[in-house]
Amino acid sequence: MYFVEKTKRSLIRCFDYTLFFSVVILSLLGLFVLRSATMTMQNQSRMMLIQTIAIILGVLLAIAISLVDYKFLKDIGIFLYWGSILLLIYVFIDGYGEKLGSKSWFDLFGVVSVQPSEIAKVTFIISLSIYMERLKEEAGKNNLLKLFIHAALPIGLVLLQRDFGTSMVFVVILAVMLFVWGIRFKYIIMAGGAMLLSMPVLWFFVLNERRKSRIIEFLSPGFDPSDASYQMDRARMAIGSGQWFGQGIGKGLQTQSGGVPVKESDFIFSVIGEELGFIGASFVVILVFIILFRCLYVARTSKDYFGEYLAAGVTGMFAFHYFENIGMNIGMLPVTGIPLPFVSQGGTAMIAYYIAIGIVLSISTRRKKIMFSS
Amino acid sequence: MPGVSLKVKRRQLALLVIFFLIIVALIVRVAYIQVVKGAALRKMAYEQHNRGMIISPRRGTIYDRNGKELAKSASVDTVWVLPREIANSEISIEQIASDLAKMLGMDSGKVYKVISANTSYNVIKSKIEKDMGNEVRKWIAVNKVKGISVEEDSKRYYPNRNLASHVLGFTGTDNEGLEGLEVILEKYLKGIPGKIISELDGSGQEMPFSVEKRIPAQQGMNVVLTIDETIQYMAEKALERAIFENKIAGGATAIVMDPRNGDILALASKPDFDPNDPYIPPEEEWMPTFKELMEIKDKDMELNESDLDKIDMDNWSGRTNLEVLILRASLWRNKALIDTYEPGSTFKAITSAAGLEEGVVTPETQVNDNPVELAGYKLKCWRDGNLHGQESFREGVYNSCNPVFVRVAQALGIEKFYQYVNAFGFKEKTGILLPEGRSIFHIKPQELDMAVSAFGQGFQITPIQLASAYSAIANNGTLVKPRIVKELTDNEGNILKSFEPEEIRNVISRQTCDTLLDILQGVVSEGTGKNAYVKGYRVAGKTGTSETLPRGSGRYIASFAAIAPADNPVITALVILDDPRGYSYMGGVIAAPVAGKLVEDVLSYLGVERNYSEKDMEMMTKTVYVPELRNKPVAEAKKMLRERVLEVRVESGGEKAADDTLIVEMTPKPGASIPEKSVVILYTYKPEKEIMVKVPNLSNMTIAEATRALNDVGLNIKISGMGIAMIQEVQPGELVAKGTVIEVKFRHIDNVE
């Protein structure tokens, strides 16, 4: 019975406060930045309301989940997986968002818009962990094929939504989990080779012109004076304008004059850079490192494989989100539609990330008492 | 439960190291952008932002020499939106969008998109009429709308439409000059744009958000041209009539200059365009040929003959490369400055000037027009079958005998001859402000080249070059740069910059000019230029007819260059008709009367007094006005008409009208101007239908014959020109009311080249 805890004391003592508070601090900072970023927008109050509710709901959910033994996920994991697959299919029937680049939203009760791919990231991690643990324990039967098919289904669906960035998240989650799971180096090399080979295929058959232009712009800045380079230029200008201490919340010239594109989501790091300066931006980056470090630490100290894989998956998800998002903001990586977790506007994502954190907290609470013993 | 293997742990450590390295890279990059590059990027961001909202300046007005507006900027409005402020309005954004859409005649969805866009400034609609702008202003005030502003803008108008279109040119959507003086004088006309800046001043110092700085726009300078609107109008009308009467297929041009200071009084080129709407396609008759397009296209423009077939006239935008090329080759082409052509006999005045100046001939030198044999060619007189034979040089010019001029040139020698060609400015651009064509001469002319050039063939010049050269002859031998812009002024009328007349050089002596003008006056009064004769004004001039290359194509250019009055020149006029296909192609027959009429109109407009010679007085038929005779008794009417030397015919419907019968109707109507001895028809009853008569064929009749022929059938004549009847206003065989005045144009066709 997972719901009955043996000792309340160990629960409180082993709770990963560092991770929890890092996330909460980042969320609160994000709320201020988001308020400033959306000051020029029509629906600011509605956005802020949704974001605040999502954070409160998220924190409560995370605490609740941390109190529950994560092993119950093993029982419901497969249902969660198929549930999210159904939702991913549903957006094809009744979704919207083509104008933003990919059709990946649907309306829930006509009130809130839900982005199933955000939910799917978490269920993806859970179901993969179940599979991997099974594979690990039935050693010898190293049948990875089934695992790959299992993973390919949601990735394919997200790709069909033309959401290339999010499908990359799934791939990275899978890669990190497999790496931690102990996939042989020969497979890693094979995967690397396959990636190289698939590049021309992607370029000529999968990627559309806009995505290609983003990559071209990244590889040779100034080559293409279109959308992609405009976004990167504006973002760089905004971040640079922040200098050491920033122009202050609500006072960023680029941010407030509409110079920064998608500033409430993909380019919110530019707002942080402009309004909070190097001090603020590096503070965020350090918080990110702490979060990743703690997640990885939880994976390392998990009492079982299931917990380890779960935590590794969550680490991979956050790592990709943070690195890609910040990287594209500062012109190190090509532009994709990847938000900054706990900061970017988006209710579904916020709740999904808090659920992921709740799972990691649950694992950490039940971790091995003695560390580095074996 | 199995322990976690060491291998796996190492992998987690590896991940941690990778993460750490990435984090360090991110921080280094952020530091580089913010700390190292920060100041530069911040400056860039300010500059980007400070572009702000542009208030376009009012473009300067273009006036004619008398202060009449030729191009002016009317005040219009542009509606802007500052999307980030719009939320502070008292009404909803949807309401704003639908209200604006209704007022501006736009789609409300489109307006919504613009006003909710994530930008700092946006144009909702530009260049709307003032009324519409004021309506929006009122709506903003009433509804306390924020973030929508109506700013003054300007739009170019050309009140005279096609008048002087090639000189003026036109502007684009941002009021920038695209053609003609609008583009040449852009820097003076455009003014300095103002702007509205928020937040920051120039030094990058931060200011409170609400502060809005407004830098007003500075109006452009006004331009005063040397063009006289009325003379320009006269020249254009003269060309339009000439094109119609002579079935001109290649366009026409007319230049009227003041030789004393080089002022261009009129510069007309046909076909032309309406600068208010310059992209309208040319009529079928003015469509350029493929060859013409090839001549003017840019080197790097691809053009195939098949492209011309692909032009879809129904979807003509005037903006594609090919369409613009077509417009450049036809309607936009300023023939007066760009076209090069062989001047033909008009150039003989230049050869004469050189010969007289160098003393190789005098007016009385005996010459003959026997053909000159040179390098295997026989250069003959135009009247080859019936040579003029022995004649004075003066008569040689009157008769326009080619061999006479060949001999003059030969006497001068190649060096001297071309020295004068150069001195008259034919090998350089005149320096008028507008784009000019480049004249074409042999680089190393041989004697034959010179011999042919002596009568105006074998080289090509622009019309403006010839007009300038004639002006030098009219200006005591001093070549003056043609001037089209007089000065730049501000709105208070202060002169900001003036373009003074510029003398280029003295070409020939005053004495030579007087002699030459005397000869050229004889050309008009006695020689090939008779059709340019104007009673009361001494017109000097020379005809020109040249066959365009290739020879034998049957395509001609007819021209006439005139200086008037010959004793004290006030104007120089050049008329060129390209490719006439009517009753004649001879310059003396078709271009001379156009030039003569134009000179007459311009001189009388300028108030130059007429000075009739005895011969003029003799030739003049007096015209009288028809008096009002209706409701007057027949006897009184007859008496009144007799006093005016008019004939009378009474139509009484059968029985003879009594002397006290009242007149009910009459033709011509009272007020008509008719020559003496014309017939006035009086009706003593209300005719149900006026009596109609057939117009006789008058062609080739003399003035006396034509007058009699018309009077015989009860019609009246209006005589224009001299010689024999060439054009009658109403075609033979048509029915017109008895008593109608028919205008008939007479032309000398004997003794023309």
Give the model confidence (pLDDT) of A168-188 as tens digits: 888 888 888 888 887 777 777
- How confident is the prediction for chain A on average, in pLDDT? 78
CATH of the domain at B692: 3.30.10.20
CATH of the domain at B164: 3.90.1310.10
Domain-located, residue B116 = yes
Specify the higher pLDDT residue, A212 or B309: B309
pLDDT band at A2 (very low <50, low <70, confident <90, very high): very low
Residue B610 shares a structural domain with residue B559: yes
Domain with B526 in it? 344-617
**pLDDT for B84 beyond 80:** no
- Per DSSP, the three-state class of B666 is strand
Mean pLDDT value of segment B499-515: 95
B108 is catalytic: no
By residue count, chain B amounts to 753
Angle at B733 between CA B732 and CA B737, to 5 degrees: 100
Condensed to tens digits (0 to 9), the pLDDT of residues A303-324 reads 888 888 899 899 999 999 999 8
* Interchain pair B38, A243: CB under 8 A: yes
Contact B746, B721 (CB under 8 A): yes
Residue B741: its pLDDT value, please? 85
Look at residues A238, A241, A230, A279 and name the one whose alpha carbon lies nearest to residue A255: A238
Look at residues B162, B110, B401, B439 and name the one whose alpha carbon lies nearest to residue B277: B162
Residue B16 shares a structural domain with residue B41: yes
> How many CB atoms sit inside 10 A of residue B660's CB?
9
Domain-located, residue B251 = no
Residue B71 shares a structural domain with residue B209: yes
Residue B550 shares a structural domain with residue B478: yes
Look at residues B626, B623, B640 and name the one whose alpha carbon lies nearest to residue B739: B626
Domain-located, residue B277 = no
- CA–CA separation, A78 and B462 (whole Å): 90
Q: Which of A126-135, A245-254, B57-66, B654-663 has the lowest mean pLDDT?
A: A245-254
Tally of domains within chain B: 4
Q: CB contact, 8 Å: B20 with chain A?
A: yes
Domain-located, residue B236 = no
Domain-located, residue B110 = yes
Report the residue of A42, A294, A317 to disrupt the B interface, i.e. the one with the largest count of B CBs within 10 Å: A42
* Interchain pair B15, A315: CB under 8 A: yes
- CA–CA separation, A291 and A20 (whole Å): 9
Out of B553, B585, B617, pick the residue that ends a domain.
Answer: B617
- CA–CA separation, B704 and B718 (whole Å): 12
Candidate from A180, A259, A286 with C-beta closest to B48: A259
Domain-located, residue B538 = yes
Contact B466, B546 (CB under 8 A): no
Residue B153 shares a structural domain with residue B75: yes
Contact B521, B538 (CB under 8 A): yes
Residue A373: its pLDDT value, please? 37
Residue B392 shares a structural domain with residue B432: yes
Q: CB contact, 8 Å: A326 with chain B?
A: yes
DSSP state of B315: G
Helices (H) and strands (E) in chain A, counts: 14, 2
> How many CB atoms sit inside 10 A of residue B249's CB?
15
Tokens (6 digits) for A70: 């994560």
Write b or e for each residue in B686-720: b if 16 or more Cβ atoms lie within 10 A of its Cβ, otherwise e: ebeebeebebbebeebebeebbebbeeebbbbbbe
Candidate from B16, B37, B84 with C-beta closest to A240: B37
- Per DSSP, the three-state class of B349 is helix
Tokens 């760009």 locate to B338
Condensed to tens digits (0 to 9), the pLDDT of residues B97-146 reads 899 999 988 888 888 888 887 666 788 888 888 888 889 988 988 888 88
Alpha carbon separation from B311 to B66, B277, B281, B307 (Å, rounded): 43, 20, 11, 7
| Beta carbons within 8 Å of A4's beta carbon, 6+ residues apart | none
Q: How many CA atoms lie within 13 A of A143 on its CB side?
A: 7
Angle at A351 between CA A350 and CA A352, to 5 degrees: 95
Query: Per residue, what are the HEC states of A183-212?
Result: CCHHHHHHHHHHHHHHHHHHHHHHCCHHHH
Distance (Å) from the C-alpha of residue A161 to the closest C-alpha of chain B?
Answer: 25
Residue B428 shares a structural domain with residue B519: yes
* A:B CB pairs within 8 Å: 144
* Interchain pair B38, A240: CB under 8 A: yes
Side chain identity at residue B545, one-letter code: T
Q: Of chain A residues 110-169, which have a CB less than 8 A from chain B?
A: none
pLDDT band at A3 (very low <50, low <70, confident <90, very high): very low
Domain-located, residue B630 = yes
- CA–CA separation, A146 and B290 (whole Å): 70
Condensed to tens digits (0 to 9), the pLDDT of residues A47-96 reads 888 889 999 999 999 989 888 888 888 888 888 888 888 888 887 776 66
Report the residue of A181, A187, A232, A239 to disrupt the B interface, i.e. the one with the largest count of B CBs within 10 Å: A239
* Interchain pair B30, A304: CB under 8 A: no
Q: What is the DSSP string of A256-295?
A: HTT-STTTTTTTHHHHHHHHHHHHHHHHHHHHHHHHHHHH
Contact B42, B50 (CB under 8 A): no
Condensed to tens digits (0 to 9), the pLDDT of residues A243-297 reads 888 777 766 666 666 666 677 777 888 888 888 888 888 899 999 999 999 888 8
Which residues is A113 bridged to in the sheet?
A: A107
Active-site annotation holder among B345, B468, B471, B546: B345
- CA–CA separation, A166 and B210 (whole Å): 41
CATH of the domain at B485: 3.40.710.10
Residue B513 shares a structural domain with residue B644: no
- CA–CA separation, B66 and B85 (whole Å): 49
Q: CB contact, 8 Å: A248 with chain B?
A: no
Q: ipTM > 0.90?
A: no
- Per DSSP, the three-state class of B416 is helix
Residue B571 shares a structural domain with residue B634: no
* Interchain pair B87, A42: CB under 8 A: yes
Out of B566, B592, B617, pick the residue that ends a domain.
Answer: B617
Residue B34 shares a structural domain with residue B70: no
Look at residues A283, A288, A304, A296 and name the one whose alpha carbon lies nearest to residue A16: A296
Out of B586, B617, B648, pick the residue that ends a domain.
Answer: B617
Residue B401 shares a structural domain with residue B510: yes
Candidate from B1, B6, B40 with C-beta closest to A304: B1
Q: Of chain B residues 62-91, which have a CB less than 8 A from chain A?
A: 83-84, 86-87
Which residues is B73 bridged to in the sheet?
A: B156
Residue B104 shares a structural domain with residue B11: no
Distance (Å) from the C-alpha of residue B506 to the closest C-alpha of chain A?
Answer: 58
* Interchain pair A258, B83: CB under 8 A: yes
Domain-located, residue B594 = yes
